[in-house]
């Protein structure tokens, strides 16, 4: 079919073998690409009881129909495996150019199994996969690895996806990084790569992508690039990137502060997006992912002080929180240095920041002491403590070794009632806004198929800016999108999870398509132009639903229980003590009830009903 390469690469690192097999048309029909391919291939390949860090775990990378074409944001890539953080699914979507290059190199997906006896990396060229030695790369950070591979092959256009030392040390919150800053996590994909002695996957392709109707694709692309200019996020992201979102959270008193003990951070003005724009942004050096017309990757440089010379990009809203308010730090230069350090170590910054915040609260409450920290005083905002713990986590040493395995496991280790304020779900740390402020986001954290994460549902309609027509489609009632409403929020989250699964499978950016562009009737034109097929909105929504249900079945097979769909005690029982949302907690039960009903999943077992499985063709 047009829009696909027709090839899936298979690599067995134990046997030192590589091969190409044809892409099954049924895989395309039922799962579309990207995230859909990842879950179907993982579901079929990973046996029950597989060790996440063992040879029987499988790592899958996938491209999608829009990758490498003119379609907006077509440079993304998808990765997935069984997670070492929680034993269920980990899959993540990264940006940049790596996904387009993979497609040009001729692959719809790449399946990696086994374990190499020595460090290695993959070099994927036009329809060819080589396993090459990487002893000299082992111990290098993600930036050095990329530079060394490009230099070795004499080609700066090779796109490199790699792990840092955190992945080598099999840290449960290690991610994989492409082009130094785009990471596909969360939940330990980097550790899975490290466990296979796989340092990097480099891609370079020169093949084009067959497009069924190029003129229609140009027209559809133009249409979407016009829509994005009318959306609220366009001007904000193009100037500041996602960090500006934290300003709205701060006004609502939903800026998770000192590990969620407050919703207000006194030093917020110093770490606000405006401050980064005025003092650190390299004007005129904004970056966008491949074919994206909303460039949100701004480059920053610290020019003076202790962190002078620190350079990088990709500061996110989550960075402002995880290395700012959550750990009580109001020094923007230090905050940026933590961000760059995690990129180079190959650590998931959201999980790392929250694990440190958790440790700081344990220290504040004298659950742990200097004896446990190796002499590091874990005072709120201490840059010495934060940088020290990041290094320990990446090296799997000292207290960092415990924290790097996730806050749920750390809380079990520390005891003293600390599990109540371990801000995680399924051992994945809560990523952005405080759930007590937004019910749909709270529900999304509780049920997301990889643990607490905002990008699975990404219910932006709760922030406003969604048209009444779309609200009716998503929620069944326009007022259900309001922050104070709880009715129909389960239905809305299920719908949003389905459309986000479609977006991840097309390989489109969810930030770019947060509102109108993400609706299936808008993206349909791009898909039909590329493939030459007459896909329908109903078909797309059914694919999104199938993906979410198969992810559910994967997780149940690997030990998930319905009781795991919950939130930390702090979010359910400790009202926000101050600010505009003072007194709020999450009333989770009615939200869950509505969500399970909308999904047609049983509350007692967590399984989809037999009718639902039949309807989605998952009953075989």
- Positions in the binding site for ligand SF4 (CB under 6 A): 73, 95, 288-289, 292, 294-297, 509, 511-512
Give whichever of 394 and 499 is closer to ligand SF4, judged by the CB atom: 499
Give whichever of 348 and 434 is closer to ligand SF4, judged by the CB atom: 348
Give whichever of 222 and 577 is closer to ligand SF4, judged by the CB atom: 222
Give whichever of 172 and 507 is closer to ligand SF4, judged by the CB atom: 507
Question: Rounded to the nearest whole angstrom, what is the least distance from the CB of residue 33 to ligand SF4 in the complex?
Answer: 16
Give whichever of 8 and 294 is closer to ligand SF4, judged by the CB atom: 294
Question: Rounded to the nearest whole angstrom, what is the least distance from the CB of residue 76 to ligand SF4 in the complex?
Answer: 7
Give the chain's length. 620
Question: Rounded to the nearest whole angstrom, what is the least distance from the CB of residue 86 to ligand SF4 in the complex?
Answer: 26
> What span, in angstroms and rounded, lies between the C-alpha atoms of 407 and 354?
8
Query: Cα separations (Å) of 554 from 119, 246, 558?
Result: 30, 34, 6
Contact 202, 208 (CB under 8 A): no
> What span, in angstroms and rounded, lies between the C-alpha atoms of 325 and 261?
11
> What span, in angstroms and rounded, lies between the C-alpha atoms of 274 and 475?
34
Contact 500, 458 (CB under 8 A): yes
Question: Rounded to the nearest whole angstrom, what is the least distance from the CB of residue 511 to ligand SF4 in the complex?
Answer: 4
Question: Rounded to the nearest whole angstrom, what is the least distance from the CB of residue 431 to ligand SF4 in the complex?
Answer: 15
Give whichever of 85 and 499 is closer to ligand SF4, judged by the CB atom: 499
Q: For residue 352, which of 187, 217, 140, 233 has the smallest C-alpha distance?
A: 187
Q: Which residues contact 538 (CB under 8 A, 6 or more apart)?
A: none
Give whichever of 264 and 509 is closer to ligand SF4, judged by the CB atom: 509
3-class SS at 44?
helix
> What span, in angstroms and rounded, lies between the C-alpha atoms of 510 and 454?
11
Beta-carbon count within 10 A of 185 CB:
29
Three-state SS letters, 545-581: HHHHHHHHHHHHHCCCCHHHCCCCHHHHHCCCCCCCC
Interstrand relation of 159-162 and 176-178 (parallel, antiparallel or unpaired): antiparallel
> What span, in angstroms and rounded, lies between the C-alpha atoms of 465 and 84?
38
Question: Rounded to the nearest whole angstrom, what is the least distance from the CB of residue 525 to ligand SF4 in the complex?
Answer: 19
Question: Rounded to the nearest whole angstrom, what is the least distance from the CB of residue 299 to ligand SF4 in the complex?
Answer: 12
Question: Rounded to the nearest whole angstrom, what is the least distance from the CB of residue 308 to ligand SF4 in the complex?
Answer: 27
> What span, in angstroms and rounded, lies between the C-alpha atoms of 485 and 478?
11
Give whichever of 71 and 396 is closer to ligand SF4, judged by the CB atom: 71
Percent of the chain as helix, strand, coil, to the nearest 5: 45, 15, 45
Question: Rounded to the nearest whole angstrom, what is the least distance from the CB of residue 185 to ligand SF4 in the complex?
Answer: 15
Question: Rounded to the nearest whole angstrom, what is the least distance from the CB of residue 293 to ligand SF4 in the complex?
Answer: 8
Range list of β-strands (E), 150-282: 159-162, 176-178, 182-184, 198-203
Question: Rounded to the nearest whole angstrom, what is the least distance from the CB of residue 200 to ligand SF4 in the complex?
Answer: 21
Range list of β-strands (E), 268-412: 299-301, 311-313
> What span, in angstroms and rounded, lies between the C-alpha atoms of 390 and 344?
11
> What span, in angstroms and rounded, lies between the C-alpha atoms of 158 and 106?
14
């Amino acid at each position: 079919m047009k829009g696909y390469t027709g090839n899936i690469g298979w690599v067995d690192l134990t046997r030192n073998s590589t091969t190409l097999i044809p892409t099954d048309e049924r895989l395309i029909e039922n799962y579309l690409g990207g995230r859909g391919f990842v879950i179907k291939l993982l579901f079929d390949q990973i046996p029950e009881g597989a060790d996440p860090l063992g040879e029987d775990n499988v790592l899958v990378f996938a491209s999608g129909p829009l990758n490498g074409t003119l379609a907006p944001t077509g440079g993304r890539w998808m990765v997935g495996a069984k997670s070492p953080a929680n034993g269920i699914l980990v899959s993540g979507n990264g940006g940049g150019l790596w996904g387009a290059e993979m497609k040009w190199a001729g692959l719809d997906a790449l399946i990696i199994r086994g374990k190499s006896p020595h460090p290695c990396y993959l070099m994927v060229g036009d329809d060819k996969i080589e396993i090459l030695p990487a002893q000299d790369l082992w111990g290098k950070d993600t930036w050095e690895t990329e530079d060394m591979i490009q230099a070795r092959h004499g080609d700066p256009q090779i796109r490199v996806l790699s792990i840092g030392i955190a992945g080598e040390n099999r840290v449960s919150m290690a991610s994989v990084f492409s082009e130094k800053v785009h990471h596909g996590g969360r939940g330990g994909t980097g550790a899975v790569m490290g466990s296979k002695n796989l340092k990097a996957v480099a891609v370079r392709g020169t093949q084009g992508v067959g497009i069924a109707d190029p003129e229609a694709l140009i027209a559809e692309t133009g249409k979407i690039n016009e829509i994005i200019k009318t959306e609220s996020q366009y001007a904000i992201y193009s100037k500041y990137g996602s960090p500006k979102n934290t300003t709205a959270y701060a006004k609502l008193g939903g800026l998770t502060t000192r590990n969620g003990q407050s919703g207000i951070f006194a030093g917020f003005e110093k770490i606000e997006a405006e401050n980064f724009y005025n003092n650190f942004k390299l004007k005129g050096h904004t970056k966008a992912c491949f074919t994206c017309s909303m460039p949100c990757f701004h480059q920053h440089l610290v020019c003076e002080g202790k962190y002078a010379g620190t350079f990088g990009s990709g500061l996110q809203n989550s960075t402002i929180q995880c290395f700012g308010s959550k750990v009580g730090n109001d020094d923007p230069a230090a905050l940026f240095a933590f961000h760059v350090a995690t990129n180079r170590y190959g650590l998931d910054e959201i999980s790392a920041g929250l694990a440190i915040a958790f440790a700081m609260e344990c220290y504040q409450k004298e659950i742990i002491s200097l004896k446990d920290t190796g002499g590091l005083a874990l005072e709120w905002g201490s840059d010495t403590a934060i940088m020290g713990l990041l290094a320990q986590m990446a090296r799997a040493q000292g207290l960092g070794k415990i924290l790097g395995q996730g806050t749920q496991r750390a809380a079990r280790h520390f005891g003293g009632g600390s599990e109540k304020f371990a801000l995680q779900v399924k051992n994945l740390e809560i990523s952005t806004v405080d759930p007590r402020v937004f019910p749909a986001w709270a529900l999304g954290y509780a049920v997301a198929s990889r643990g607490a994460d905002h990008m699975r549902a990404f219910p932006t309609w709760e922030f406003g800016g969604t048209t009444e027509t779309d609200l009716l489609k998503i929620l069944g009632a326009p007022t259900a999108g309001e922050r104070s409403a709880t009715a129909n929020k389960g239905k809305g989250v299920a719908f949003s999870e389905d459309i986000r699964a479609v977006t991840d499978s097309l390989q489109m950016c969810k930030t770019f398509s947060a509102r109108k562009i993400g609706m299936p009737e808008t993206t349909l034109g791009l898909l039909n132009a590329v493939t030459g097929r007459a896909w329908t909105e109903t078909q797309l929504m059914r694919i999104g639903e199938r993906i979410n249900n198969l992810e559910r079945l994967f997780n149940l097979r690997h030990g998930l229980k319905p009781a795991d769909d919950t939130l930390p005690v702090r979010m359910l029982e400790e009202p926000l003590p101050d600010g505009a949302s003072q007194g709020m907690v999450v009333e989770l039960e009615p939200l869950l009830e509505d969500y399970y009903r909308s999904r047609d999943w049983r509350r007692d077992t967590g399984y989809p009903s037999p009718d639902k499985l039949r309807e989605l063709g998952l009953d075989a």
